[in-house]
Amino acid sequence: MGPMPTLSHEEDNFLSDVFLTLRKYIQESSEQEKVVNVKSVAELKSLLPPIQADGISYAQLSLELKEILNNSVNTIHPLFLNQLFGGVDVAAWVGEVASALLNPTMATFEIAPLITVMEKRMVQELINLIGFNKGEGIMVTGGSNSNLLSMLCARTNYNPSIRQTGFSHNQFRVYVSAEAHYSFDKAANITGIGTQNLVLVPCNDRGEMIPAELERIIVSDIKDGFTPIMVGVTSGSTVLGAFDPITPIAKICDAHQIWLHVDAAWGGGALFSKKNRFLLKGIELADSVTFDAHKILGAPMVTSFFLTKHAGILRTTNRGGGAEYLFHEYDNSDWDTGTYSLQCGRRADALKLWLLWRVHGSEGIGQRTDQLFDLAKFTTHEIQNHSRFKFIHAHYLNVCFQIKPHSSKKDINTFTLEVREALVKEGRALINYAKRADGTIFFRLVFPNHKTTKQHIIQLLKLIVDKADFIENN
- 235-245 pLDDT tens trace: 999 999 999 99
Q: Contact, 303 vs 292, CB < 8 A? A: yes
Predicted confidence (pLDDT) at residue 10 exceeds the cutoff of 80: yes
Q: How confident is the model at residue 321 (pLDDT cuts 50, 70, 90)?
A: confident
- Which among 390, 383, 462 is positioned nearest to 423, based on CA atoms? 462
E strand or H helix at 289, and its extent?
A: strand 288-292
Predicted confidence (pLDDT) at residue 168 exceeds the cutoff of 90: no
Q: At what angle do helices 454-473 and 350-384 cross, to 10 degrees?
A: 60
Q: Contact, 388 vs 290, CB < 8 A? A: no
Predicted confidence (pLDDT) at residue 396 exceeds the cutoff of 70: yes
- 264-278 pLDDT tens trace: 999 999 999 999 999
- Give the separation between CA 268 and CA 179, rounded to whole angstroms: 17
Q: Region 323-337: what's the mean pLDDT?
A: 80
User: Quick one: pLDDT at residue 139?
Assistant: 98
Q: Region 378-403: what's the mean pLDDT?
A: 98
- Give the separation between CA 400 and CA 114, rounded to whole angstroms: 44
pTM of the predicted protein model = 0.96
Sign of the C-alpha dihedral, residues 321, 325, 326, 332? Answer: positive
In 82-235, where does DSSP find H-type helix? 90-102, 113-130, 143-158, 162-165, 183-191, 211-223
Report all structural domains of the chain as residue ranges with CATH numbers, in order of start: 1-31+37-72 (no CATH), 104-347 (3.40.640.10), 361-473 (3.90.1150.170)
- 90-108 pLDDT tens trace: 999 999 999 999 999 999 9
Rg of the chain over all Cα atoms, to the nearest angstrom? 24
User: Quick one: pLDDT at residue 192?
Assistant: 93
Predicted confidence (pLDDT) at residue 1 exceeds the cutoff of 60: no
Whether omega for the bond prior to residue 88 falls within 30 degrees of 0, making it cis, is: no
- 106-119 pLDDT tens trace: 999 999 999 999 99
Q: How confident is the model at residue 333 (pLDDT cuts 50, 70, 90)?
A: confident
User: Quick one: pLDDT at residue 323?
Assistant: 67
Other C-beta atoms lying within 10 Å of the C-beta of residue 327? 17
Q: Region 327-355: what's the mean pLDDT?
A: 90
Q: How confident is the model at residue 2 (pLDDT cuts 50, 70, 90)?
A: low
User: Quick one: pLDDT at residue 35?
Assistant: 96
- Give the separation between CA 317 and CA 351, rounded to whole angstroms: 26
| Apex 266 CA angle, 264 and 271, nearest 5 | 60
Predicted confidence (pLDDT) at residue 435 exceeds the cutoff of 70: yes
- 437-457 pLDDT tens trace: 999 999 999 999 999 999 999
- Give the separation between CA 186 and CA 227, rounded to whole angstroms: 20
Percent of the chain with pLDDT strictly greater than 70: 99
- 169-207 pLDDT tens trace: 789 999 999 999 999 999 999 999 999 999 999 999 999
- Report the DSSP beta bridge partners of residue 177: 201
Q: Region 426-438: what's the mean pLDDT?
A: 95
Mean pLDDT of the chain: 95
Q: How confident is the model at residue 156 (pLDDT cuts 50, 70, 90)?
A: very high
User: Quick one: pLDDT at residue 4?
Assistant: 62
Q: Region 463-468: what's the mean pLDDT?
A: 97
- Give the separation between CA 453 and CA 5, rounded to whole angstroms: 46
Q: Contact, 460 vs 453, CB < 8 A? A: no
